[in-house]
């Protein structure tokens, strides 16, 4: 079978096409014919060697992928041949709290989804709704689940409350779509007029140009009658945390997802901290249970993930290069026939 391995981190040249023998499932495993895989920021960090969890040498990249079960082990009870599944981001984290002994990730410490056939324990897989294409299903495990836990793991959001998202990355777009499905008002920041129009088309109630308004927290306050956003999905980190804290409501939440690259400290001015009672909450994707909850929400609300561009499996390096260019609006996907 055709597969890719990350053999030398640092550049896309380190992602090398290889041939491997097609594996046979063990007693509790399923063999998945991968039909699509997608890229996330963590994949760029793993490639450049800056990800906090070191990658295994020669690992098959990408945590996110979906496909069809083509063989099952003798003790498998959750799936049958022909089922549509995706792989869970943290495969050993089934539910509850993340603990150190569960620190394994597809495409990092475990072989991932940039391959023709992926071998997964049956507990590592989640059923895919029929309404989603393979490409759409392949975008859910990292960015989709991160947005879901950002919105659902804190205080329950109520219809009419305000959610602020930053930019148009994968997590932000999912957060926009999911928050609108929950009945929330959604504000979004961007610096690109073309993207502003697309964000509006996805349901954003207001779009703030952070280039025109560098102190964009003032715009958030104006748009909320001075109250601030009930929830801020903070996907950038050090460069924007101060503005996010100034944007949040008195007893709201700032969910910290991105910590920023090249920054040593996260800083909040003492005066900003002193005038709020907001909670700063950290999320790191989510469990298999969270993934299953997201899939039900996506199916129930008829949500379709935003796809920027699809690449053929033979063009995996080109997919990385396109993603690393930073101009994508939506998910970058590698597709297999």
Host H or E run for residue 296:
helix 288-301
117: nearest Cα among 310, 313, 329, 330: 313
Per-residue model confidence as pLDDT tens digits over 17-67: 999 999 999 999 999 999 999 999 999 999 999 999 999 999 999 999 999
Q: Could you report the per-residue pLDDT of 59-95, keeping only the tens digit for each? A: 999 999 999 999 999 999 999 999 999 999 999 999 9
pLDDT of residue 264: 80
What per-residue confidence (pLDDT) applies to 59?
A: 98
What the chain holds in terms of domains, given with CATH numbers, is: 2-143+285-335 (3.90.180.10), 154-282 (3.40.50.720)
pLDDT by residue (tens digit) across 272-304?
999 999 999 999 999 999 999 999 999 999 999
The first and second tokens of residue 29, run together, are: 């495993």
- 83 by Cβ neighbours in 10 Å (0-12 / 13-18 / 19+) ranks as middle
What is residue 265's predicted lDDT score, i.e. its pLDDT?
A: 84
Q: Which of these, 284, 275, 219, lies nearest to 252 by C-alpha position? A: 275
- pTM value is 0.96
List the beta strands (DSSP E) in 206-298.
206-209, 229-234, 248-256, 279-282
């Amino acid at each position: 079978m055709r597969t890719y391995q990350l053999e030398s981190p640092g550049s896309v040249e380190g992602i090398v096409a290889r041939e491997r023998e097609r594996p046979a499932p063990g007693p509790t495993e399923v063999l998945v014919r991968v039909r699509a895989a997608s890229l996330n920021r963590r994949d760029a960090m793993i490639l450049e060697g800056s990800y906090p969890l070191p990658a295994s040498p020669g690992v098959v990249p990408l945590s996110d992928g979906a496909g069809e079960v083509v063989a099952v082990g003798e003790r498998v009870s959750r799936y049958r041949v022909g089922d549509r599944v995706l792989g869970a981001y943290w495969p050993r984290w089934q539910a509850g709290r993340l603990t150190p002994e569960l620190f394994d990730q597809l495409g990092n410490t475990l072989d991932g989804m940039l391959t023709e056939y992926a071998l997964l324990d049956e507990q590592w897989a989640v059923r895919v709704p029929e309404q989603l294409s393979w490409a759409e299903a392949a975008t859910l495990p990292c960015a989709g689940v991160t947005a879901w836990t950002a919105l659902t793991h804190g205080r329950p959001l109520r219809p009419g409350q305000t959610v602020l998202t930053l930019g148009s990355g994968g997590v932000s777009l999912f957060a926009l779509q999911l928050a609108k499905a929950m009945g929330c008002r959604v504000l979004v920041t961007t610096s690109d007029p073309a993207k502003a129009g697309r964000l509006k088309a996805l349901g954003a109630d207001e779009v703030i140009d952070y280039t025109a308004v560098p102190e964009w927290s003032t715009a958030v306050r104006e748009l909320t009658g001075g109250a601030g956003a009930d929830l801020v999905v903070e996907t950038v980190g050090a460069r924007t945390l101060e503005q996010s804290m100034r944007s949040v409501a008195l007893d709201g939440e700032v969910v910290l997802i991105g910590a920023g690259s090249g920054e040593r400290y996260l800083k909040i001015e003492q005066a900003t901290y002193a005038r709020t009672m907001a909670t700063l909450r950290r999320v790191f994707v989510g469990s298999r249970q969270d993934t299953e909850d997201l899939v039900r929400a996506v199916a129930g609300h008829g949500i379709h993930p935003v796809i920027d561009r699809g690449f053929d499996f033979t063009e995996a390096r080109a997919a990385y290069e396109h993603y690393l260019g930073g101009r994508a609006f939506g998910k970058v996907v590698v597709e297999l026939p």
